[in-house]
Structure 1
Amino acid sequence: MLANDVKPTSGKEVLCKVCGDRASGKHYGVPSCDGCRGFFKRSIRRNLQYVCKEGGKCMIDVMRRNQCQACRFSKCLLVNMRREAVQHERAPRSSAPPPCNLVSIPFDFYTPQKALPVRPANILLPLPTLMPVDLVYKPIDSQFTTGYCGFQRELNILNPAFDKQQSSLGMENNNTINLSKTNDSFDRVNPLKGVSSLQTEDGNCKELIFESAAKLLYFAVKWARSIPHYNHLPHRDQSVLLENSWAELFLVMASQWGLPLENLTISKELDNIRHVLQQFRHLKIDVAEASCLMALILFKAIPSLSTTSIEYISLVKDQSIAYLADKCGAFRLGHLLLLLPQVKNAAIPKFIQDTFFKGTVGEVAIERLLGDLI
């Protein structure tokens, strides 16, 4: 084993040799925290090269370890973390992520047992470095049957006439699904392929767009409901948060699952949406990053929320940012956070509803229907 539990003999807590945080074990020959372990492993495996703008004189500690990757890597080598230990470590069985789906994301690092009390002193406590494997987006396939059946019920809320169209969409009256038909019109979506990956054979583009959009909205709502911190809030506050974020969540979901845009009427608003989706593809946003961005979008300190909820939301946002900073470093964190105003600017609720949902909900505002989905 390359990582062993470190048990202090003097009764004192063993600290990470790189940044001084609490060590989780002996990694690559040195007592270190999960953050520095993961950083060193990524740097070696990807053969990353870093340059320090301050001439290699940056201080590396818990608060500043993400400010300079070059000095952090140098510190790893200085304390004798072993390159060969990473290179000889057993590689994953497959380069593909574990087969899980987004709608079952539990946000395990926010579970009630680990959730911190809402006190300012706790905001700076470190997050667990490893995200759960359930934070992986999964294309629609046979493992998604249960979620798909649930989607049929929710789509009935969005479109009272949907039950008359089930057979043409591959959904049968007995609440089962003909996946061969469904996959023809909503093919397996690679998150990095983006919006062009959805194809249809029958050329019924409008119907495909409306159905795809309804699925994405349903998955976004179900994702929110899977987060324990969201469920702990008063029901009224849950509704307010979702009503103020559904359009933005919809776009982030579209960036990961894909959405057919090719045959829509060209407009400035649609160009903005295309630009945002292209930015996600260009930055190669992974599933953990996308999930954290969705958490930052969902948990907004809206004035109409209760005081307790606002404090709770502040904690969740701080934890999400802390995780992103530790996962990807300050430079990439900046690029990720700059996406949020772009998403907000492109996610115009009225335009998104008229473009993607008019065929399913007509003139009824999406905000009025969200309560039935929560």
Structure 2
Amino acid sequence: MANKSSNKNLHQASKAKKDEFYTQLSDIEKELGHYKKHFKGKVVFCNCDDPRVSNFFHYFSYNFENLGLKKLIATCYKNQNADLFSQNKVEKAIYLEYTGDKNGDKIPELNEIGIKELKGDGDFRSEECIELLKQADIVVTNPPFSLFREYVAQLMEYKKKFVIIGSLNAITYKVFFKLIKENKVWLGHSIHSGDREFGVPDDYPLNAAGCRIDKNGKKYIRVKGVRWFTNLDYKERHEDFILIKTYKGHEEDYPKYDNYDAINVDVTKDIPADYNGAMGVPITFLDKYNPEQFEIIGLGISNSGLEVGVKPYKKEHKKYRKEIQKRGAVDGDLYMITNGVVDVPYARILIKNKKVK
């Protein structure tokens, strides 16, 4: 039930373009603490942000000296409310610049924050926001889920370091998966399972389970299947994942695919320590992925699967899948035949253990 309601929240956000999910300060602190050495002397840019409610701006402005930052920039999309950060009374997008404490109290105050109007609406794709992006060394934010592919493409085009939060399903996007396979992007350190609570705008409809309104009237939803994505390195991702299961003597636990020479592994912790061939593992495997321990062959779905040698459906299996099971039959998806039934596991990553000869 929780999974359905969380997926409903994501679908709702995408459909209605309600992508303003405000990340909790506790989640930001847990993740960014692993990258402290990367921030010293750097310009941090929080685009797709709203400093009125953003915990990203809060985190970096209050930890500016501790992190040794050079500058903090945040863009705000059409801010028209008067508050600590903006006195605008007309619909204007703004950007903020903070270069550190001026009076010694290490608290960011209004007179220490440069507030400037943007000509446009603050969209991250606009020319003026791209000019701000060019100034940045590291981008940290929660981009719109519905524009995730376009957002990441821009970061890669301008060769930016980043720490961003997004849906776990982004792993199945063909272009984004290629970045993971080539070790140009990886999963962050702190979120590996469960759901996370996000703040949402006042006009966000709360019509699914897992939603709440706090005593101050602020709205929150819980979303399952989110992860941090980054290209800043941290030592834990180079630690070997300890494997305790074996293939020899337990072959029946690891059925082979009908259309690719690999065994299926349903749960990441069950990856056999003694198997030297290809294996299909859940996408959550990337939570444990060490590039020195495993080779990523490819993604076993759709065209991505065809590109790495996954064979199309056999005619009789496609017919069974469509007519008997009433399910889609996409060539390139890995599948097995289990007791005469076509069995298609959810998205699988094809891997090999580099340390098993």
- Mark yes or no: TM-score above 0.5: no
TM category, shorter: under 0.3
| Greater strand share, structure number | 2
Q: What TM-score do you get using the length of structure 2 for normalisation?
A: 0.19
Which structure would you say has the larger RCO, counting Cα contacts within 8 Å and 6 or more residues apart?
Answer: 1
Q: What TM-score do you get using the length of structure 1 for normalisation?
A: 0.18
